[in-house]
Structure 1
Amino acid sequence: MSGAVRVLVIGGGPAGSTAATLLAREGLDVTLMEKAVFPRYHIGESLLPALLPVLDLLGAREKIDAFGFQFKGGGHFEWGHESWDVTFGDLPGWEADYSYQVTRADFDHLLLEHAKSQGVNVMEGVEVKRLGFDGDRPRSAVWASTDRGGEERQIEFDYLIDASGRAGVMTNRHLRTRRFHETFKNVAVWGYWSGAKKLPAGPRGAIAICSVPHGWFWGIPLHDDRLSVGLVTHTTDFKAKRDSGLDLEEIYRAGIEECPLVADLLSSAERISPLSVEQDYSYTADRFSGPGYFLSGDAACFLDPLLSTGVHLAMYSATLAAACLASTVRGEVTEQAAAVHYDETYRNAYLRYLLVISNLYQQYQGKESYFWEAQRLTRRDCSDADMKQAFTDIVSGIEDLRDAKVTLEVALEAVARAHSHMVEVRREPSAPAAASTQVGQDELTQARFKLFNSGKMGFPSPGQVRPPGLYVVTEPRLGLAYQGH
């Protein structure tokens, strides 16, 4: 089969299905190619409430609600010597006051089937082998069925959304622009348990996030009475344990023994899956868009499982890409302006999480430190009692949907930049040690510098005053608009 389409989407995960559905609903001819045949397993079960407005745009919220996923009211942190709750119901002015703990095989399958129902031409079990270019612009894709002996075929397109996840068709095979973080070099080991106790603290259906001396644990309750339990530890610590003769099972079990909350949850439970392991999963591309293409979700970047940002950034970036592309096709903005807006907005959302997660890993000074950093990243005049709200807004994903201007303390950062390129982090005995003792301070400093303007996504809260610039709008149709001039 050869032919031409308006938009080719590579990847059928949350990023690909979201972008494809939104573009099809805007009347564009969209073909989506997915290597796997759904449903297929994927890690990343804990979602943020910022996806609810996106599900509404997709017309898929009722389908997700009806499936019966585990309700998620927030998170419970036990970090170092302190504990606190993040409650989504505390989000002022937002109806997005809950989320889901999901089995990704089911969640992703629902979104992909919904894409089909909205007019997307979905092709499962096909792999994009390589892309053809006109200068720097991708124009065609050679693909083949994943069945052995599949014949190679070609498809031409006007625009490309690469949502191919870690495979990174554009970044890994063509641009060669993916780089791995010095800040996060972690290993995740996880399994699924049956018969676990209910979390005794936190909002209903909360994820548990607990630090241990050499890393941290997640505990995610699922609708089918399973508990997903994962240990995240730094590569150096993991390698040292393996070199000492410990196998994967022993490392995982030893971590559980160091975490009283998780140990109690699993005291009468049985693990019903083999252990899985992932490493070197924190990376970013040098740019997220270019002539005729957008990198969405994990194809562009992935940070860390600590704040469950993966699906949020996937669907957020896909919505942004669809809005940019729809307005470009309609001639409302130039292709270059849309690409610049996409890159800056998506990168700012990603950088904000980079700083918050780095603060949790590297600057253990107590929860007030995390709340203060979050308040600084939202640039709000908050009382001490209100600083927790800024933290909640960021870790729920809502801050990415606000129209805000962020100006950080340039003088402070100039002082920080004047210090040595690498800094030694001093750990408290019980502080989390999942990140490297040698931190790329320059990377964090540059992130703070780049956050002069936050992501200008739509869905403003009532009465919010928005500064001039391009914004995502949803009425009368999805796209970009200049506002505030």
Structure 2
Amino acid sequence: MVIGGGPAGSTAATALAQEDLHVRLLEGAHFPRYHVGESLTPSCRTVLEHTGIAETLDKHGFTIKHGGVFRWNSDSWVFDWGAQIGSRSWQVDRAEFDQLLLQHARDNDVLVTEGVTAKDVAIDADGRPVAVTCLADGGEPYTIDDFDFLVDATGRSGLLSARHLHNRQPNPALRNIGIWGYWEDAALLPDTPKGGINIVSSPEGWYWVIPLAGGRTSIGFVTRKDYFGERRPSYQTHEEMYRALVEESLPVHGLVVGARMTGPVRVETDYSYVAESFGGPGYMIIGDAAAFLDPLLSTGVHLALFSALTAAACIASSARGEVTQEEALRFFEFAYRRSYTRLLALVSIMYERYLGKDGFFRTSDRLLGEAQDRDDSLSFVEIIAGLSDLREAGDASTRVLTERLTEEALKVQERSVSGHDGPGKPDFSSVLDNPLIDAESADFRLVTSPRLGLERTARG
């Protein structure tokens, strides 16, 4: 049973059903429903090609995203996925995107029920979920107990991690707030690759500019919670504050000259957190239910889909008897936590603005174990594309060792303590207090052919 029908839940359910498992999915909302997180990475295309919906998304008319432009402090650089890594992704309307993914799950024989909220989970003496208490719209509570394995994809509400196990740890450095709205006929920065995102820093945060289909553009500002709180009383409405913030950035304001703002201004907190564990006997926690990082590098849907595919591979292999459930859980924990840790290190480095783009690129090289005398951004591009996570999950010889990631995390944290910190002070305690599992997990790799699952390596 999968709880949650967002990108993580629908993708995990589809992948499991395609491996001939009987899958039920519960979703509390009725789709389509609004959601932020519109800019996707090439890794999302790779996962969705595997589940068979990428062509549908291409035909739907979403903006094809080929890269973007960073203007970060005094630096400016272009990343072009087509030219650098031969890939692309989408800028999506999440209401439409999520509905397409959920319908694709139905088309693959997943039993999808909308308007049913999972309220509680019964856990047996061994720590295994054995029943879920559900509440349908306007109905009476009822119980579902005919499942062998539970996948928690309930997003930030975190049915298991936040509401039952209470094992999610916040990162106090990344207590940010986003405020955003939509425009018609806005422009993009010069040299932006076709359909690309613009990311523009300011002294107190940063802006996103995302071109959507139909001439619409999503423009948002992300800043610290305390700064937002200081500014907000000066304005009568969120819209008034938002317009002032857009005007304060010369590059961003220049993009909306002659454009028209449409729809409401929205505000949302995006506090960073990570669960102490991503699974246990009879369950896995995927997507935002397990961890949320930061919107800076558009990692939300990447982490959702990467964890969904990895979880499905682990569950399918365990169900077929190819690996034990303990081995499957260990691999999932390792692969997902490694991805989160590396992205956390890179995001934290970028908030330390004094390093500049060359410092970001060198850090990216170290995070991938690449030669550090290269004068290019390829490692940075591969990480923000999410492709390094997929590659390492499928190739044991390219695994980044736990010690290397931990070393980089400590370096970032030490720089913060020494007083060189930027707007956010990185805190890796939630990662460093729960070291990645490495040695045993290197006995396996993720494979998608001839079937999705785990394969023992020569070492294993």
Please tell me whether residue 481 in structure 1 is matched to residue 455 in structure 2. yes
Please tell me whether residue 140 in structure 1 is matched to residue 131 in structure 2. yes
Q: Tell me which residue corresponds to 1:285.
A: 275
The 5-angstrom pairing of residues 407-422 of structure 1 reads 407=401, 422=417
Aligned-pair CA distance for 1:9: 0.2
Which of 207, 213, 217 matches 1:217?
A: 207
Aligned-pair CA distance for 1:443: 5.8
Contact 1:79 1:211 in 2 (8 A): yes
| Deviations 1:216-241, CA, capped at 9 Å, x for gaps | 00000001211101100011111111
Please tell me whether residue 39 in structure 1 is matched to residue 32 in structure 2. yes
Aligned-pair CA distance for 1:139: 1.1
Instruction: Specify whether residues 420 and 71 from structure 1 end up closer, same or farther in structure 2 by C-alpha distance, changes over 3 A only.
Output: closer
Q: 1: CA distance between counterparts of 2:94 and 2:408?
A: 40
Please give the secondary structure, in 1, of the residue aligned with 2:146. strand
Aligned-pair CA distance for 1:484: 2.8
Please tell me whether residue 48 in structure 1 is matched to residue 38 in structure 2. no
Instruction: Specify whether residues 202 and 417 from structure 1 end up closer, same or farther in structure 2 by C-alpha distance, changes over 3 A only.
Output: closer
| Deviations 1:99-130, CA, capped at 9 Å, x for gaps | 00000011111111011011100001111111
Instruction: Specify whether residues 368 and 40 from structure 1 end up closer, same or farther in structure 2 by C-alpha distance, changes over 3 A only.
Output: same
Contact 1:178 1:283 in 2 (8 A): yes
Q: Tell me which residue corresponds to 1:398.
A: 387
Q: Tell me the amino acid that sits aligned with residue 169 of structure 1.
A: L
Q: Tell me the amino acid that sits aligned with residue 21 of structure 1.
A: T
Q: Tell me which residue corresponds to 2:179.
A: 189
Q: Tell me which residue corresponds to 1:4.
A: none
| Deviations 1:397-444, CA, capped at 9 Å, x for gaps | 1111122232466997698599699453455xxxxx3x3xx4436568
Q: 1: CA distance between counterparts of 2:198 and 2:415?
A: 36
| Deviations 1:53-85, CA, capped at 9 Å, x for gaps | 211211111111110100100011000011001
Q: Tell me which residue corresponds to 1:30.
A: 23
Which of 64, 68, 89 matches 1:71?
A: 64
The 5-angstrom pairing of residues 84-483 of structure 1 reads 84-92=77-85, 97-135=87-125, 136-146=127-137, 148-243=138-233, 247-386=237-376, 388-403=377-392, 404-407=398-401, 422-427=417-422, 433=423, 435=424, 438-440=425-427, 442=429, 446=432, 450=435, 469-483=443-457
Q: 2: CA distance between counterparts of 1:441 and 1:101?
A: 31
Aligned-pair CA distance for 1:261: 1.9
Q: 2: CA distance between counterparts of 1:203 and 1:295?
A: 35
Q: How many residues are matched?
A: 452
| Deviations 1:326-355, CA, capped at 9 Å, x for gaps | 011111111111101101110000011000
Q: Tell me which residue corresponds to 2:395.
A: none
Q: Tell me which residue corresponds to 1:58.
A: 51
Aligned-pair CA distance for 1:173: 1.9
CA RMSD of aligned residues (A): 2.5
Q: 2: CA distance between counterparts of 1:276 and 1:263?
A: 19
Aligned-pair CA distance for 1:91: 3.9
Aligned-pair CA distance for 1:246: 6.6
Q: Tell me the amino acid that sits aligned with residue 473 of structure 1.
A: V
Instruction: Normalising by structure 2, report the TM-score.
Output: 0.92
Q: 2: CA distance between counterparts of 1:165 and 1:392?
A: 27
Contact 1:346 1:455 in 2 (8 A): no
Q: 2: CA distance between counterparts of 1:227 and 1:415?
A: 38
Unaligned stretches of 5+ residues in structure 1? 1-7, 428-432, 457-467
Contact 1:405 1:454 in 2 (8 A): no
Contact 1:160 1:293 in 2 (8 A): yes
Please give the secondary structure, in 2, of the residue aligned with 1:144. strand
Q: Tell me which residue corresponds to 1:3.
A: none
Instruction: Specify whether residues 280 and 106 from structure 1 end up closer, same or farther in structure 2 by C-alpha distance, changes over 3 A only.
Output: closer
Please give the secondary structure, in 2, of the residue aligned with 1:172. coil
Instruction: Specify whether residues 255 and 344 from structure 1 end up closer, same or farther in structure 2 by C-alpha distance, changes over 3 A only.
Output: same
| Deviations 1:278-328, CA, capped at 9 Å, x for gaps | 114311111101111010101101111100011111011000000000011
| Deviations 1:32-54, CA, capped at 9 Å, x for gaps | 00011111111000000011221
Q: Tell me the amino acid that sits aligned with residue 45 of structure 1.
A: E
Contact 1:162 1:294 in 2 (8 A): yes
Please give the secondary structure, in 2, of the residue aligned with 1:366. helix
Contact 2:235 2:241 in 1 (8 A): no
Unaligned stretches of 5+ residues in structure 2? 393-397
Q: Tell me the amino acid that sits aligned with residue 131 of structure 2.
A: S
Percent identity for Structure 1 against Structure 2: 43
Aligned-pair CA distance for 1:175: 0.3
Contact 1:74 1:205 in 2 (8 A): yes
Please give the secondary structure, in 2, of the residue aligned with 1:174. coil
Aligned-pair CA distance for 1:183: 2.0
Instruction: Specify whether residues 419 and 83 from structure 1 end up closer, same or farther in structure 2 by C-alpha distance, changes over 3 A only.
Output: closer
Q: 2: CA distance between counterparts of 1:184 and 1:411?
A: 19
Q: 1: CA distance between counterparts of 2:451 and 2:187?
A: 46
Please give the secondary structure, in 1, of the residue aligned with 2:90. strand
Please give the secondary structure, in 1, of the residue aligned with 2:181. strand
Please give the secondary structure, in 2, of the residue aligned with 1:204. coil
Contact 1:348 1:450 in 2 (8 A): no
Instruction: Specify whether residues 249 and 303 from structure 1 end up closer, same or farther in structure 2 by C-alpha distance, changes over 3 A only.
Output: same
Please give the secondary structure, in 1, of the residue aligned with 2:113. strand
Instruction: Normalising by structure 1, report the TM-score.
Output: 0.87
The structure with more helix, counted as a fraction of residues: 2
Please give the secondary structure, in 1, of the residue aligned with 2:354. coil
Contact 2:131 2:144 in 1 (8 A): yes
| Deviations 1:168-206, CA, capped at 9 Å, x for gaps | 111122101112111201010011111212443221111
Instruction: Specify whether residues 410 and 294 from structure 1 end up closer, same or farther in structure 2 by C-alpha distance, changes over 3 A only.
Output: closer
Contact 2:348 2:426 in 1 (8 A): no
Please give the secondary structure, in 2, of the residue aligned with 1:262. helix
Q: Report the more deviating stretch, 285-294 or 357-366.
A: 357-366
